[in-house]
Structure 1
Amino acid sequence: MAKRTAIIDIGSNSARLVIFEKTSRYGFHLICEQKSKVRIGEGAYEKQGYLQPIGIKRAYLTLKSFLHTIDKYQTHKTLCVATSALRDAPNGKEFVQWIQKELGLYIKIIDGNKEARYGGIAAVNLLPIHEGISIDIGGGSSDMTLMKDGHIIDTYSLNLGTVRLKELFFDKGLSAKEINEKAKAYIQDELKHLPVHFKHHLAIGIGGTARTLSKGIMKQVAYPLDKLHAFTYSVKKHKAYLDAIPLSSAKNLKQFGLKKNRYDTIREGTLIFNEILAHIGTKTVISSAVGVREGVFLDQLLKDDNLKFPSNINPSIVSILDRFKPLVTIEKKRKTKLKLASTLYSVLQKGINDNKQYEKELLWAVKLSSIGQTLTIYRSHQHAFYIAMQELNYGFTHEEILLISSLLRMFGKELLNKPLFEHYETLLPPKQTILWLSFIYTLTVLLHEASNSANITFAYENQTLRIHSNKPLYLAKEKVKALEKPIPFAIIIEDESALPENKTLGI
């Protein structure tokens, strides 16, 4: 696959450009993102679906600008897809041919099921889920994917979209009550076509409407982490908030903490979203910052892997290690460090007693422990924290991201960064657990850095941790001695650091 791939997604409401750069077989990251509210379908639903000049002009100028960006980034491959506005338009193919002639850009019009499938591919690979139903509400359609056991089971596209509802109901000068009654009846009639097996307690919110609502809820609850992807909320807990938005006037939308650039279609989108959630039996929504564009990219990247990353691969981890190359790059040495952490976690279970429930996060942190040194060795643990907070985007819950990042940040004499812990306390394990994990992480790093691949074993009895090494650990001893402990206990290091017997300095 090309090193740099550009994806253009032309929707009824917006057109977006993203450019991904591959760092290795499974590593990639986003290097450019642009968006324009082209509203290519504006006025079409009252004109038998025909694209109108105002939307055509905006789309042409946007695509022309996108191509300039693609050229600037020296992209190797460009894929452009268009969704409901073009597939529904009688003159959609004519527009595609005209753009290809004028700009040299080939646009592939995809049907609703293909659109839903792309969203599903992105969700099941880049979110910490294995099943659920993705919902992508666009301007002209709502596309849904049913997933189970990490695979796509079925897709369906509903003729329900924000622009469609806006022009059919919300722009008619009716009262809020009349709008909701008529629009609800319209939505429910369309939902009758949805296959009966589209039922699940978890919904994956893809697209502008779902993202806007998630951001609004995050603001309402003063959520401590500024990261939308994988944010999860209870439908029941926020039902009043979700129900109130479609009944609001456009002027009063500011009370919901929503972005102004979404005011024009958020009432329509929320009404569709609410009705779908109720129909499929949703209890929890997980927010997705990925969708069709990422799905198109992964469809190419994972075509030889049954459209799934291997079970032992996380693309964010791979990308971080590719770009922020740790000083210890030999896989054998990395595995040694991971084994040290895992063994120490097991040995200390007599004190921790948590069944190693955080081992996965601990080992990810250990694996990433050297990434901050790529920038500078000074305050490298702080750099590692910021890298992890920004780059652990795919496949992790917010709780996992924060725990991994916090362990990277807390390296040093003190096991707990109090301001950091207090700010994110609601998303982190209990304080005592953090202290133990930070101790294990820090001790592992100290021993590995000073051991030169020594054979190290641990024993924990009678409030004493014994560390035995077949090679010197002299450089680690002073740091270990100064290291804070989660509870009072002794640390004894038995190594080969003494002077050879019967030898003197010769002075």
Structure 2
Amino acid sequence: MNHRTAIIDIGSNSARLVIYEKTSRYGFHLICEQKSKVRIGEGAYQKGGYLQPNGIKRAFLTLQSFQETIQKYKTSKTLCVATSALRDAPNGNAFVSWIKKELKLDIQVIDGKKEAQYGAIAVSNLLPVSEGITIDIGGGSADLALINKGKIVDTFSLNLGTVRLKELFFDKGKPLQDAIDYIHHALEALPAHFKHHRAIGIGGTARTLSKSIMKSNQYPLDKLHAYRYTVTEERHAYFQEIYRSSAKGLKRFPLKRNRYDTIREGTLIFDELLKQMEVEEVITSSAGVREGLFLNSSLNKRTHKFPEGKNPSIESILSRFKPMVNIEKNKRAKLQIALSLYHTFLHKTSLEKTYESELLYALKLSSIGKTLTIYRSHKHAFYIAMQELNYGFTHEQIVLIALLLRSDNDGTLPKILLREYRSLLPSKKILAWLSFFYKLTILIHEASNGAKIEFTYENQVLVIYSDKSLYLAKEKIRTLKKPIPFAIIIADKNELPKNKYLMISDK
């Protein structure tokens, strides 16, 4: 059985259990997720921070259920952290001791800076960004981390949380300006260097707002992680409409009902933070404290980073969908064929090197659909990639890689998918070249049996040199749709001498 780690995150508003399974040294994926709105901090902020009986009871029953799930999944390790509600509570230590005695569960109460650090570890490894400020708004605090060149420069925690603001102001019907003044006073403690054009939204508030923007804009990809939007005056106005709305008025916004109870408070905090830090762009992260805690326990203790060139989504897919292990041992040769082909045309056409990595990633994943069945395996590969390429890629990269996997036998891409994802794709010209490179590489690699392959392109003629027979590839190569008119010649050294150069397509 693969190594499994359970992570429990006890927040002021909700408690979550996630279980990750490591499928290889750097590959992992989520196999279980459970959540309960325990509201352990309910009523605490009005009563000196003391945890109240109802919240304690809900937390106990939730943790008890989590323990049963953990036992069922036979996890190797369990890590449990609690945030602001417990660290602020005078009776928090008593609760931790009680849970330890009754449930045999060790709870680590972490401070806001540690919470911010875990979120930043997740972001710096699992998002395609190297700089920005993370914003994680919880029930009792807002935790921030400044990232520069992929490293965590500083962390800070503010006593600004959704439940805290709700109980102190919104539930009491106090003027909105009182809550705004409270936030402004708290922001005075934020160090001056916490300013950046990019914010990275972690946690329920940021994700809920991003989902509402995606729905409003009819965004084509149903994937929240790595979603970006610009922060404009119109965006600030939209956020203001939400936090100035009545509870009943929230129905007119594309928001999930289970977020109604704290979304106004969270939006107010989020909006004021964006203004304070002079943010121009927000990128959304589905990964946060839980993923950071997991990575902190499994990566290099000094760097807390994946090695250069190791992407956890790619590693996980390859370790779970591996239908042709022995054949794919020479996959390096396949990538070399693609690079040689790509660069052959790069110097002779107006192509750019921009999409080289996407082409290589698609080729690495080219066989994953065969895990299900060899029939229509390219369609299976497309859906696997769309679902499983979660970490370290932009949405544009995800769609492009998946579409290359979906290429038909002649290298064409389905028009219905091109229309659906048009706003996330490069030009038709670039797509045609990439699809041609992808499909031609696959055909040569499958037929070459480890041959040494070279290319030349002169006077609108592509010559493919091979020191072994490419007989089985010739007919399929003839049907490939080319981006521009040119001829393809196979110079096969194992062909009969009189037939050494076979013209298989005309201009």
By the TM > 0.5 criterion, same fold?
Answer: yes
Report the Cα offset of residue 270 of structure 1: 0.3
Structure 1 residue runs without a partner (length 5+): 503-507
Q: Does residue 346 of structure 1 match 2:343?
A: yes
Report the Cα offset of residue 304 of structure 1: 3.7
TM-score in terms of structure 1 length: 0.96
User: Is the 8 Å Cα contact of residues 328 and 370 (structure 1) preserved in structure 2?
Assistant: no
- Write out aligned runs for 1:357-376 (5 A): 357-376=354-373
Match for residue 238 of structure 1 among 227, 235, 240? 235
Residue identity matched to 1:241: Y
Match for residue 428 of structure 2 among 431, 456, 468? 431
User: Is the 8 Å Cα contact of residues 411 and 438 (structure 1) preserved in structure 2?
Assistant: no
Q: Secondary structure at the match of 1:56?
A: helix
| Residue-by-residue CA offset, 1:225-260 (whole Å, 9 max, x unaligned) | 000000000011522211211111111112110000
Aligned equivalent of 1:505: none
Give, in whole Å, the separation in 2 of the partners of 1:388 and 1:352.
30
| Residue-by-residue CA offset, 1:186-244 (whole Å, 9 max, x unaligned) | 00100010111111111000000000000000001000000000000001152221121
| Residue-by-residue CA offset, 1:328-352 (whole Å, 9 max, x unaligned) | 5577611111111111111122564
Give, in whole Å, the separation in 2 of the partners of 1:346 and 1:407.
18
User: Is the 8 Å Cα contact of residues 328 and 334 (structure 1) preserved in structure 2?
Assistant: no
| Residue-by-residue CA offset, 1:382-439 (whole Å, 9 max, x unaligned) | 1111111111110000000011111001141142211001100000001111011000
Give, in whole Å, the separation in 2 of the partners of 1:404 and 1:23.
22
Give, in whole Å, the separation in 2 of the partners of 1:315 and 1:332.
20
User: Is the 8 Å Cα contact of residues 235 and 285 (structure 1) preserved in structure 2?
Assistant: yes
Give, in whole Å, the separation in 2 of the partners of 1:194 and 1:17.
31
1:249–1:352 distance in 2 versus 1, CA, 3 Å: farther
User: Is the 8 Å Cα contact of residues 23 and 322 (structure 1) preserved in structure 2?
Assistant: yes
User: Is the 8 Å Cα contact of residues 81 and 110 (structure 1) preserved in structure 2?
Assistant: yes
Aligned equivalent of 2:482: 485
Give, in whole Å, the separation in 1 of the partners of 2:363 and 2:282.
31
Aligned equivalent of 1:136: 136
Aligned equivalent of 2:19: 19
Aligned equivalent of 1:107: 107
Residue identity matched to 2:194: F
TM-score in terms of structure 2 length: 0.96
Aligned equivalent of 2:299: 302
| Residue-by-residue CA offset, 1:343-400 (whole Å, 9 max, x unaligned) | 1111122564132210010011011111111111111111111111111110000000
Q: Secondary structure at the match of 1:376?
A: coil
Give, in whole Å, the separation in 1 of the partners of 2:238 and 2:498.
77
Residue identity matched to 1:197: H
Q: Does residue 275 of structure 1 match 2:272?
A: yes
Q: Does residue 229 of structure 1 match 2:225?
A: yes
Q: Secondary structure at the match of 1:404?
A: helix
Give, in whole Å, the separation in 2 of the partners of 1:358 and 1:352.
15
Q: Secondary structure at the match of 1:466?
A: strand
- Write out aligned runs for 1:208-219 (5 A): 208-219=204-215
Q: Does residue 336 of structure 1 match 2:345?
A: no
1:384–1:182 distance in 2 versus 1, CA, 3 Å: same
User: Is the 8 Å Cα contact of residues 352 and 433 (structure 1) preserved in structure 2?
Assistant: no
> Which portions of structure 1, spanning 4 or more consecutive aligned residues, are displaced by more than 6 angstroms?
none
Q: Secondary structure at the match of 2:456?
A: strand
| Residue-by-residue CA offset, 1:16-63 (whole Å, 9 max, x unaligned) | 000001111111111100101000000001111100111111101110
User: Is the 8 Å Cα contact of residues 345 and 351 (structure 2) preserved in structure 1?
Assistant: no
Aligned equivalent of 1:188: 184
Residue identity matched to 2:282: V
Q: CA RMSD in A?
A: 1.6
Q: Does residue 323 of structure 1 match 2:320?
A: yes
Q: Percent identity?
A: 66
Aligned equivalent of 1:206: 202
Report the Cα offset of residue 281 of structure 1: 1.0
Paired positions, count: 498
Q: Secondary structure at the match of 2:46?
A: coil
Give, in whole Å, the separation in 2 of the partners of 1:274 and 1:367.
41
| Residue-by-residue CA offset, 1:45-99 (whole Å, 9 max, x unaligned) | 1111100111111101110111111011011110100000000000011111111
Q: Secondary structure at the match of 1:7?
A: strand
